[in-house]
Amino acid sequence: MSLILIHRTGAKDREKNPLGVLCVLCASAVKTLAAALLVAFPALAGESVLLATGFVLRADRHEVEGAKIRLYTNGRITEFPAALVAGIEADPQPLALPPAPASAGPSPKQLIERAAARYDLPAEFVHSVAKAESGFRTNAVSGKGAVGIMQLMPSTAEILGADPHDPQQNVEAGARYLRDLLLKYQDHPFQLRLALAAYNAGPGAVQRFRGVPPYRETVEYIEKVIRQYSQSRK
């Protein structure tokens, strides 16, 4: 820490220097000045100004001109006799701390694991659906308006009481919807295919065609999910 001495009064100095006498005799005035400066200047600055009375002020910088000293802080200037100052010390520079890393939330696959466990579904099955639906992309939006990892239609998400744009709610609602569809067709010999068909094309289409709708997209979707699910279980 560097120390810059401005003026220090001793016994001999006071005989020759009336300002030194002033520094001793006007201690109360100095205290008043120090109090005013402490109010005017914030505590965090670039220099510590030590007064002859023992008070310490802080400033961004200073200038000495003849018998006067000027303190600069936050655009303010205060001027007083340099004889009132015993010394000035440069404040240590604060260490620049690295920014705190943003706390990363759970990944799509972690969300799927939790949702699958909550709704008693094989995690591999929900993973296969999510991969076929969105490739695990949280910001995926289809041409028909399906949203998120599980590609929920806004109307379906509303029925399930979920915000489809929130990844956690999206996955939770998608897993719950799959569970409900599997229960709906649990007595059918092609339970899994019908549940996937209803997830892709809607239960109304499954009911209308009394089975898997003859839509190319739906048929390919079912085969893709079942193939991925089978491979993940090996």
Catalytic (active-site) positions: 133
**Same domain (yes/no): 80, 113:** no
φ, ψ for residue 43 (rounded to 5)? -70, -30
Q: Which of 37, 20, 49, 225 lies closest to 128, judged by CA?
A: 225
CB 87 within 8 A of CB 145: no
Residue 99 lies in a domain: no
Q: Which of 2, 17, 11 lies closest to 81, judged by CA?
A: 17
Q: Look at residue 65 in the predicted model and tell me its pLDDT.
A: 87
User: What letter does residue 99 receive in the DSSP assignment?
Assistant: P
How distant, in Å, are the alpha carbons of 13, 123, 190, 193, 204 from that of 227? 97, 15, 15, 12, 25
Q: Look at residue 78 in the predicted model and tell me its pLDDT.
A: 82
3-state helix, strand, coil in the chain (%, to 5): 50, 15, 35
**Same domain (yes/no): 78, 154:** no
**Same domain (yes/no): 81, 125:** no
**Same domain (yes/no): 59, 162:** no
pLDDT band at residue 113 using 50, 70 and 90 as cut-offs? very high
Q: Look at residue 217 in the predicted model and tell me its pLDDT.
A: 95
Q: Give me the CATH number covering residue 47.
A: 2.30.30
Residue 234 lies in a domain: no
**Same domain (yes/no): 51, 112:** no
**Same domain (yes/no): 69, 39:** yes
Q: pTM of the entire structure?
A: 0.58
**Same domain (yes/no): 119, 83:** no
φ, ψ for residue 39 (rounded to 5)? -75, -40
Around 144, how many Cα atoms within 13 Å sit in the side-chain half-sphere?
12
Q: Give me the CATH number covering residue 180.
A: 1.10.530.10
User: What letter does residue 152 receive in the DSSP assignment?
Assistant: B
Residue 59 lies in a domain: yes
**Same domain (yes/no): 222, 137:** yes
Domain range for 67: 3-90
| Token pair in block for residue 232 | 């993940």
Query: pLDDT tens digits for 40-84?
Result: 434 344 788 777 777 777 788 888 888 888 888 877 888 888 888
Count of the separate structural domains present in the chain: 2
